[in-house]
Amino acid sequence: MRVVVLTGAGISAESGLATFRDSNGLWEGHDPIQVATPEAYADDPALVQRFYDERRAALSRVAPNAAHEALARLEQALGDDLLVVTQNVDDLHERAGSTRVHHLHGRLGSAWCTTCDERHSWAGPLADRPPCPGCGARALRPDIVWFGEIPYGMDVVEHALWSCDLFVSIGTSGVVYPAAAFVHWARGTTLELNLEPSSGASDFVESRQGPASHLVPAWVDEVLGSGGPGSS
């Protein structure tokens, strides 16, 4: 059984990382979504770097929750037949033990040098404009896919969706493309696990509502107990 799991901010919410659209909170007076654009970076690079520096620093204060751990358990059973595609830029899937994780929107733990085009593992801040370890240019930006930029590795994701038996979407509002269209590209059956029905909930064969820390372990137990994918 080949399974593709898409995750969004909702899977990390119970670890203490804010989602994008649930809170109306502003960051330093800015809508976080407005900060995540190439235009915002061109206008005020220090502001955008500070935003991501804070989020990178926050990773050391949070831990994976039961939903991340359940997906790692599923990978142990399915091996290469499971691909986790995440819109999240945190590292909680990896810290829970998942190894087959595709970061569609990049990673906080990576910095991209716009001079030499190299990417480097990064744990510290970027707002103080450190030199690129490769070429020395002070041109490192967060390795994050901003609005208007092209998500990473769509060929890999499309291939996985076209050949899967089950597509499961977890903790995403379903308003950002291309991820919002994956339910239409998936060859197999489809299941949504989300706190509330997403904007595309009716496109799924089945939609379950509740916190990811409950729904995901329960679903993984069903699959591993051979109730079969999506069975209740």
- Supply the residues annotated as catalytic: 105
Nearer to ligand APR, 15 or 82 (CB): 15
Nearer to ligand APR, 50 or 134 (CB): 50
Least distance between ligand APR and beta carbon 115 (Å): 25
Tokens of 226: 């051979």
Least distance between ligand APR and beta carbon 66 (Å): 11
Nearer to ligand APR, 43 or 196 (CB): 196
Nearer to ligand APR, 19 or 49 (CB): 19
Tokens of 185: 């590209």
Q: What residues line the site for ligand APR (CB under 6 A)? A: 8-10, 13-14, 19-22, 33, 36, 87, 105, 171-173, 176, 194-196, 198, 211-212
Q: Annotated binding residues for substrate, as ranges? A: 52, 55
Measured at the alpha carbon of residue 95, what is the angle toward residues 73 and 216, in degrees to the nearest 5? 40
Show the 3-state SS of the chain.
Answer: CCEEEEECCHHHHCCCCCCCCCCCCCECCECHHHHCCHHHHHHCHHHHHHHHHHHHHHHHHCCCCHHHHHHHHHHHHHHHHEEEEECCCCCHHHHHCCCCEEECCEEEEEEEECCCCCEEECCCCCCCCCCCCCCCCCCEEEEECCCCCCCCCHHHHHHHHHCCCEEEEECCCCCCCCHHHHHHHCCCEEEEEECCCCCCHHHCCEEEECCHHHHHHHHHHHHHCCCCCCCC
Tokens of 133: 């370890």
Tokens of 31: 């809508």
Least distance between ligand APR and beta carbon 23 (Å): 9
Q: Annotated binding residues for Zn(2+), as ranges? A: 113, 116, 132, 135
Q: Which residue, chain included where needed, has tokens 């916190």? A: 211
Nearer to ligand APR, 151 or 188 (CB): 151
Least distance between ligand APR and beta carbon 136 (Å): 30
Least distance between ligand APR and beta carbon 138 (Å): 26
Residue nearest ligand APR by beta-carbon distance = 10
Q: Annotated binding residues, as ranges? A: 8-27, 52, 55, 87-90, 113, 116, 132, 135, 171-173, 194-196, 212
